[in-house]
Amino acid sequence: MMAYSAMGYFLGIDGGGTHTTAWLADENLSVLARVQAGPSNPVKVGLASAQRELSRAYRNAIRQARVRPAKLDGVCAGLAGGDSAPVQRSMLRWMRKAIPARAHLMTTDAAVTLAAALGISQGIIVIAGTGSIAFGRDRRGGILRVGGWGSQFDDAGSGYDMGRKAIAAALRAHDGRGKTTSLTQALCRELHLGKITEAVPIQLTPQNIAALFSLVQQEAQAGDAMARRLCLEAADDLAELATTIITRLGWKRRVVSVVCSGGVFRSSDLIRRAFARRVHRYAPRARVSLLDREPVEGALLLARELLLPRGRKHPSS
């Protein structure tokens, strides 16, 4: 049986639609390097681009920690968009060749965030960043997913969703179909437009649209009714992810941890408070909290778990 003292180093990667974070740690999970790279969601940026950013993060972490690549024992990469089986298999094959280590795990960003938030305990994680998704884990370790089906069909309450709705609201106001909103002028300033209709032919990336969430939040704080409405709608949509899991796992009357993560929750007191109220109305004993650890810490935990005696092995490892 292998003990910690026989282990070398572990690399944890949290890859999203906006950026990639990688931490390299020793056998006690003392962090030796913290680096960032560009977006590595393979569904959004493509396999080649995602691989390039992961490789950059790996090389920079090795360089910063002054560790020989051959010393890596475990690597875990949790990627947004990494829940597609074909994508996961392809990325795992690439990672085994490009990032030498004794054991590899390719999983989702939600899975590493869940590990950071709850360890091996049961509970719920709701993530709202560029996209949105929720996971619940029961006492037997079973995982239930809700949402996160991509910006084209889902991701309700995400930064992308709010950015898209903000532009739509401004266009409706322009037509006279919607109420006047300060979002119109704010969006024109942010996107350097003469008028809001010029936003229609612009080729905005999902990241560009998601970045408009901060503008929605600012206008909501300044008192704009439409911006505030968009924030409250997002809170309801995100709460629905949590309450759906609570219903399906039969936790409505139980004490259950509901952990919030992602830029939307971190940036908006309004959304956090409204989210908590909605969840508590449905499940009064729920304990709602904001994730106080970095998601990449979960990736490190899972990377080390790959080599623990009697450790739980992930099906993609």
The pTM (predicted TM-score) of the whole model is 0.78
CA gap 41, 20 in Å, rounded: 9
Tens digits of per-residue pLDDT, 14-73? Answer: 998 889 999 999 989 999 999 999 999 998 889 999 999 999 999 999 999 998 877 799
- Would you say 12 and 23 are in contact if contact means Cβ atoms under 8 Å apart? yes
Task: Give ∠ CA 127-120-129 in degrees, rounded to 5.
Answer: 10
| Three-state secondary-structure class, residue 216 | helix
Q: Where do we find the tokens 């709010």?
A: 162
CA atoms within 13 A on the CB side of 207: 12
Tens digits of per-residue pLDDT, 73-132? Answer: 999 999 988 878 899 999 999 999 999 999 999 998 888 988 998 887 899 999 999 889
CA gap 32, 26 in Å, rounded: 7
CA gap 197, 201 in Å, rounded: 8
| Three-state secondary-structure class, residue 192 | coil
CA gap 102, 26 in Å, rounded: 14
CA gap 151, 281 in Å, rounded: 28
